[in-house]
Amino acid sequence: MFSDEAIKLGRIQVEFQALYDTKEMRERLTTKDRTQELLRICTRDNVSFDGFEYLERKLITEVA
């Protein structure tokens, strides 16, 4: 069974990819901008710092 935190991270990943991981947004926003948006979403949803680091690595760092 999935933990609530894993479900939350998955939902944030889908939201972030839909809003900020399009070709247009990747060209328009810097890595710093995308990281700030991810941090904003994580803060809004009370995600732990470890959760934020995981998402940052998966969505921004490893992709760049």
pLDDT at 8: 96
Q: What is the pTM of this model?
A: 0.90
- For 20, counting Cβ atoms within 10 Å of its Cβ (0-12 exposed, 13-18 middle, 19+ buried), the class is buried
User: Helices marked H in 1-64 — which ranges?
Assistant: 4-20, 23-28, 31-44, 49-56
pLDDT at 56: 97
pLDDT at 44: 97
pLDDT at 36: 98
Give the CA radius of gyration of the chain: 11
Instruction: Read off the pLDDT of residues 6-40 as tens digits, 9 standing for 90 and up.
Output: 999 999 999 999 999 999 999 999 999 999 999 99
Q: From CA 7, how far away is CA 30, in angstroms rounded?
A: 27
